[in-house]
Amino acid sequence: MFRPSRLFARAGATPRPLIRRRSAAGLGPRWAAAVVLCATGTVVVTEGLVPAQEQGEETAQDGADEGAKPAGDATRNAAWTKVEQDAEKSYREPLKAGGGFSPAAQDFIAKKAMPQLANDANRPILDRVRRKMREILIVGITEDRAFDDASEAVAEAAVTIAKNPEASLAARVNAMLLVGELRAKDNKDGTVWPAAVSQLAAVAGDAMLDPSVRVAAMAGLVRHADVAKRAGGDRLTEFTKGARPAILAIVAEKPSVEQPVVSDWLASRALSILTTVVKSSPKELATTLVGVMSDKSRSLDVRVRAAAALGATVTPKSEIQAVEATNGVTELAVDVLEFDEGILRDRRYEQQMSGGGAGGGGGGGGGGGGGMMPMRPGMPTGMSMSGMGGGGVAVPQLVPDQSLRRTAWRLVTLADAMLTEDGKAGVAALVSGDDKVKSQAYAELFRKYAVELDEKRTDDVILEALAFIRSGGEEEAATPAGDNEGTPAKPADDNDPFGGK
């Protein structure tokens, strides 16, 4: 049986936090911190860094007493070079030989190596310094206890830098990125150092810290959540214990007025992790989720994820007003579609202003008789279509393809938030009678149009879906798509709008 929700199984999972190889170092010599917010594809630069040349290439920076190069030399700083050289003999050799983590090794990390993250002379090469830090200080340690001790020393020193308001934002962001990048002893890609969860959660959940630092910590926490979910068992239990307080705190936070995009990103990631650390919502959490879902001042992504978390964790003990909650899910679906309708309306207006005719919806359309495509209300005129003859009319897609894919994900997510296909979960699982029938019909309607959008990706589907859902066209959902020729094919995994793994 074709199951639309399986198409987007990854869409509800934690999106991959896209941290560029040269991001947050940040981005060469010019930026102190940059974070890619994958939910919107937006790069948020939280602090500009004056180019090294503007800081004065002839001025020696920190570490000058050890022969530091000027900050304008973006490839080498003598202070960091000396740390690399000293590390091999005085730090790495004893640990690689199976020795324990000595007080001397502790001092090397705390007093010599880690302070290089906050050394202004290293700003042009900070990304490289951060990546080399893990290789120099941790990779290759053979004794298990020594490995954990060294990892803990690095994490503690990094958190100290991250919480230091006197340190540059670039240093603080990179410090938390380093904590999130700590790996297991085998150093394999995709592994994490489990004990880092507590440090990452503490920083991500600290509302007093700069949002950029919190975002860097949350990126690492998302990575740990993915690993914990795959591993299950004790690993998942330990992750839940360490991350749950911070996740709940972030979900309950008021959005930032000064940095709303960053605030929404944090909330979105926290909501995506919530079902990993919470299996059933107590009354207070459920009430918070209903409030976020219904808050039109929040981004659609945050509201949809709040609805998804609510549907996955709500129980009779959550004591929510279930009928009102189902209505809230439907209203959110309308808001999602109206967002794309707004894009369509704006593009039509732009076409009219540029002389492109009436401007229209529809990315689809069939051929007409006499070599002409039939005109529908709102379709642009005067545009030739190759292969259609001189009288052909092109029908441009006005809503961007990525927006349509995102809307498809949102609709299928809201369908499961309303009622899963097996009827065992979702806010509508708490209602009965006519309310249950109505909610189930809406859930089926959401899935129907999610599949059509993912398959066709045309403006017309947006308008049709909005017309039916806005008017309460539940009867449309009573006729399933069936396994006939018109049933949309299963989209490929790369159709996940958030680049799911």
Report pLDDT digits (tens) over 448-461.
999 999 998 888 89
Q: Which residue has the higher pLDDT, 217 or 35?
A: 217
Q: Which residue has the higher pLDDT, 329 or 388?
A: 329
> Is the Cα torsion angle 141, 143, 148, 153 positive or negative in sign?
negative
Kindly indicate the confidence band of residue 50, based on its pLDDT and cuts at 50, 70 and 90. very low
What is the radius of gyration, based on Cα positions, of the chain? 27
Q: Which residue has the higher pLDDT, 223 or 478?
A: 223
pLDDT given for residue 57 in this prediction: 34
pLDDT given for residue 284 in this prediction: 97
pLDDT digits (tens, 9 = 90+) for 219-229: 999 999 999 99
CB 447 within 8 A of CB 415: yes
Residues linked to residue 47 through DSSP beta bridges, in sequence order: 33
pLDDT given for residue 220 in this prediction: 97
> Is the Cα torsion angle 60, 63, 64, 69 positive or negative in sign?
negative
CATH 1.10.1740 fits domain 80-277: no
- Give the separation between CA 426 and CA 89, rounded to whole angstroms: 59
Query: In 3-state terms, what secondary structure has residue 444?
Result: helix
Reading phi first (left if > 0) and then psi (alpha if -120 to 50, else beta), residue 475 is in: alpha
Position 261 pLDDT exceeds 60:
yes
pLDDT given for residue 347 in this prediction: 79
Position 117 pLDDT exceeds 90:
yes
Q: Domain segments of the chain: what residues?
A: 80-277, 285-352+398-473
Kindly indicate the confidence band of residue 321, based on its pLDDT and cuts at 50, 70 and 90. very high
pLDDT given for residue 364 in this prediction: 41
Query: In 3-state terms, what secondary structure has residue 193?
Result: coil
Q: DSSP letter for 112, please.
A: I
- What is the rounded average pLDDT of the residues 101-130? 92
Task: Name the residue among 128, 183, 132, 127 with its Cα closest to residue 155.
Answer: 183
Task: Name the residue among 402, 406, 403, 479 with its Cα closest to residue 441.
Answer: 479
Kindly indicate the confidence band of residue 354, based on its pLDDT and cuts at 50, 70 and 90. confident
Give backbone dihedrals phi and psi of 80, rounded to 5 degrees, phi first: -70, -40
- Report the chain's mean pLDDT, rounded to a whole number: 78
- Give the separation between CA 438 and CA 78, rounded to whole angstroms: 70
pLDDT digits (tens, 9 = 90+) for 269-320: 999 999 999 999 999 999 999 999 999 999 999 999 999 999 999 999 999 9
Position 368 pLDDT exceeds 60:
no
CB 46 within 8 A of CB 120: no
Kindly indicate the confidence band of residue 86, based on its pLDDT and cuts at 50, 70 and 90. confident
> Is there a cis peptide before residue 26, judged by omega within 30 degrees of 0?
yes
